[in-house]
Homo-oligomer: A and B are copies of this chain.
Amino acid sequence: MRPSSRTASQIRPVSITRNYTIHAEGSVLIEFGNTKVLCNASVNEGVPRFMKGQGKGWITAEYSMLPRATHTRSDREAARGKQGGRTLEIQRLIARSLRAAVDLKMLGENTIVVDCDVIQADGGTRTASITGACVALVDALSHMRTKGIIKNNPLKCMIAAISVGIFRGTPIADLEYLEDSEAETDMNVIMTDTGKLIEVQGTAEGEAFSFDELNEMLGLAKTGINELFDIQRTALS
């Protein structure tokens, strides 16, 4: 039995609110149960120096948790003077995944920055970030077409992400904090709505896992992510 009383494959109630703030070209509040992440997509002219002159665009991401998004207060990274390894790892993951969903040539020499700020954390902040960021990205791309910055939609597919893991010996989907902190294995899976994989990151926290367990987790991920695609579609329609 899960602390959340959910079945092994049951994901939390997910809610997506578009236009959550007024300034960003794409602004989405995504909630995976008690996990709440604000995903703001900003459109900027030009690309970073290393991309200049290639006629291609760029997508980058930044991730942060508000200091009291968690049970106990964490130090503010701006006050500490640097972003931690976990933060850098997550924002690299978000950006890489979003870029895999977009034809950068069709974006022209423009940059989209997606800020994922965790307002409240209860496990799965990186998967919620990616799932919400994709919707914010869709809105930012619509804005670009409306403004005539680009002509066609550079989006190749939708992407969404979910965490799966092995908790007290059983593979489960969409772990919340209590489950995550106790899980033997933690895996994040990012997929396209064309049924392919963008990223698989499985980590043995305590016990190594078998190939069979890996496959069971991948199956749970596939099912859960398909539910997320439905929710994204509803939000965007």
Which residues does A use to contact B, with CB under 8 Å? 21-24, 27, 34, 36, 38, 40, 42, 44, 62, 64, 66-73, 76-79, 81-89, 91-92, 96, 100, 113, 115, 117, 119-120, 157, 187, 191-192, 194-204, 206, 208-211, 214, 218, 222
Q: Is the CB of B198 within 8 A of A204?
A: yes
Q: Which residue of the partner chain B has the closest CB to A115?
A: B67
Q: Is the CB of A21 within 8 A of B120?
A: yes
Q: Is the CB of A67 within 8 A of B92?
A: no
Q: How far is the CA of A209 from the CA of B194 in the complex (A)?
A: 10
Q: How far is the CA of A222 from the CA of B210 in the complex (A)?
A: 12
* A-B contacts, 30 listed (Cβ < 8 Å): A21-B68, A21-B119, A23-B68, A23-B70, A23-B71, A24-B73, A44-B73, A62-B79, A64-B78, A66-B117, A68-B115, A77-B78, A78-B87, A81-B82, A85-B92, A88-B88, A89-B89, A100-B206, A192-B208, A196-B210, A197-B202, A197-B209, A197-B210, A199-B202, A199-B204, A200-B200, A200-B201, A201-B202, A211-B222, A214-B218
